[in-house]
Amino acid sequence: MAGETWDVIVCGGGPAGIGAAIAAARGGARTLLVEALQHLGGLATSHRLATMCDSPGGPIYDELMGRLMDLDSAWYRENPERYYPPGRTGYRPEMFKAVAVEMADEAGVEMLLGTVAEAGWLDGGAVAGVHVVNKAGRSLARAQVVIDCTADADIAAGAGAPFVQGDPEDGRIQHCNFAWRIGGVDGERFKSDGPDAEELERLCRDAVAAGDITPPDAVFGIDPGAFPWSGNQQAIAQSWELQHIDPTDPRQTSRALVQCQRAALQIVRVLRERVPGYEDCVIEKIATVLGTRESRRIVGGYTVTGEDVLNGAKFADGVVPAWFWLDLHDPEPGRSTPYPLEYVQANRPARGDWYEIPYRCLVPREPLGILVAGRCVSCDHAAQGSLRVMPTCMYLGQAAGTAAAWAVEAGVHPHELDGAALKRELMGSWSPPT
């Protein structure tokens, strides 16, 4: 494929990349989707989330969820006091992978899985392709428009796009999540012969004090002295929040992953030796990717703010509606979960209202030829706590893919498009559910 040319190249096959690639291909653009994993879905299928938050995801998202529901693989989780209609949506991640591939393939998207989008290629000051790396080596794929859906704005930042990270006061980044699962437990034996909550906590404290369990350096929200005991869950925690981890720093993330996986193995050994019902327990699953919430945010033609979210701001080029709350998983001195209902209700648009994300937020100030979709669009730290959720990311991807197809057809750069016309295309028939 060296030197081959596409109309649109989408980098990253998570929710944003799925929306972007399908929208671009359905818009008539010859589209290549490059994904480092060997399946689509990103965080939606490689972590243990399996829940879409209550915010609009757009037509492609609705179609994907509809197909999953037809296969008994997605369902609504209603909580009228806390969630906006239609509620949160649970799904089966393995089915999500297959349905996403089916939809992309039907749209005519060409997919390169197991392939890393390494860097953008600039020609005359514009991004005109992407260097990719896979088993065949390193090659250049050219395109009229590149869409960065890497979540971390890897391609845009590498091509010189300005970006910011974290809280503007101290650079604090929302914390990451490591998830795993214990299997092989005899639940009945544990109920009849196992320790009660107080005894289980004491067992964890003794194991840490003896050096049998070593808490990861960055663990947050769990008392390190009683690791992995979770007082909130009254159980052994099988997901840990990790603070001060920059997802764009490979040494930091690698160190955290190594420490977390070693700690999981230590926990299994201790449980097998000391807890009835856990004699044959094993590590059943470790999430394929680290659960990251925030990293780079590009600087675009407009920056969505936390005030925009709370005030339900609308824009002439507001191409994506959203209404999730300011869900900031911040280490101290920031705010973090669990959030009381009063906080949730006070830190989102009023019920029935929404805010809009302008098209300008998807277009970096420079260079030309590239769009960005997903959690790394132009926004401030507070707003990113709302728009980072997966339905909104897929909707942003659909907006970027539609824009890319328009730009190819018109023979212009993305920043030259009429954002108001794009809004009419994407939101012309949209209305919020009641």
- Do 413 and 282 lie in one domain? The reply is no
Mean pLDDT score of the chain: 94
The CATH number of the domain holding residue 80 is 3.50.50.60
| Nearest Cα residue to 237 out of 181, 156, 321 | 181
- Do 361 and 412 lie in one domain? The reply is yes
In a domain, 120, yes or no: yes
**CB contact at 8 A, 31 and 422:** no
Per-residue model confidence (pLDDT) at position 188: 96
Q: How confident is the model at residue 1 (pLDDT cuts 50, 70, 90)?
A: low
In a domain, 433, yes or no: no
**Bond into 228 cis (ω within 30):** yes
Which residue range forms the structural domain that includes residue 308?
5-168+293-427
Domain count, the chain: 2
Per-residue model confidence (pLDDT) at position 37: 97
Q: How confident is the model at residue 357 (pLDDT cuts 50, 70, 90)?
A: very high
**Cα(24)–Cα(371) distance, integer angstroms:** 12
- Do 275 and 301 lie in one domain? The reply is no
**CB contact at 8 A, 52 and 29:** no
331 vs 65 pLDDT, higher one: 65
Q: CB burial class (10 A; 0-12, 13-18, 19+) of residue 324?
A: buried
Per-residue model confidence (pLDDT) at position 263: 98
In a domain, 186, yes or no: yes
Give the percent of the chain with pLDDT over 90.
Answer: 86
How many CA within 13 A on the CB side of residue 259?
Answer: 16
Q: What is the pLDDT of residues 249-267, one digit of tens each?
A: 999 999 999 999 999 999 9
Which tokens go with 337? 């979960």
In a domain, 22, yes or no: yes
**Cα(387)–Cα(48) distance, integer angstroms:** 20
Domain boundary pick from 286, 302, 322: 286
| Nearest Cα residue to 75 out of 60, 64, 65, 85 | 65
Q: How confident is the model at residue 90 (pLDDT cuts 50, 70, 90)?
A: very high
In a domain, 37, yes or no: yes
- Do 129 and 18 lie in one domain? The reply is yes
- Do 317 and 345 lie in one domain? The reply is yes
Domain boundary pick from 286, 315, 346: 286
Per-residue model confidence (pLDDT) at position 230: 92
Q: CB burial class (10 A; 0-12, 13-18, 19+) of residue 93?
A: middle
Q: How confident is the model at residue 183 (pLDDT cuts 50, 70, 90)?
A: very high
> What average pLDDT does the segment 101-114 reach?
98
Q: How confident is the model at residue 220 (pLDDT cuts 50, 70, 90)?
A: confident
Domain boundary pick from 227, 253, 286: 286
pLDDT above 90: residue 80: no
- Do 321 and 415 lie in one domain? The reply is yes
Q: Can you name the residues that pair with 282 across neighbouring β-strands?
A: 183
- Measured distance between the N- and C-terminal CA atoms of the chain, rounded to whole angstroms: 49
Per-residue model confidence (pLDDT) at position 2: 55
Q: What are the residues whose beta carbons fall under 8 Å from the beta carbon of 428, sequence distance 6 or more?
A: none
Give, as one character, the DSSP assignment of residue 27: T
Strands 110-113 and 31-35, how do they pair? parallel
Q: How many CB atoms lie within 10 A of CB 431?
A: 7
**Cα(115)–Cα(133) distance, integer angstroms:** 6
Q: What is the pLDDT of residues 285-322, one digit of tens each?
A: 999 999 999 999 999 999 999 999 999 999 999 999 99
In a domain, 432, yes or no: no
- Do 108 and 197 lie in one domain? The reply is no
The pTM assigned to this predicted structure is: 0.96
- Do 203 and 303 lie in one domain? The reply is no
Per-residue model confidence (pLDDT) at position 86: 81
- Do 42 and 116 lie in one domain? The reply is yes
State phi, psi for 117 to the nearest 5 degrees: -80, 105
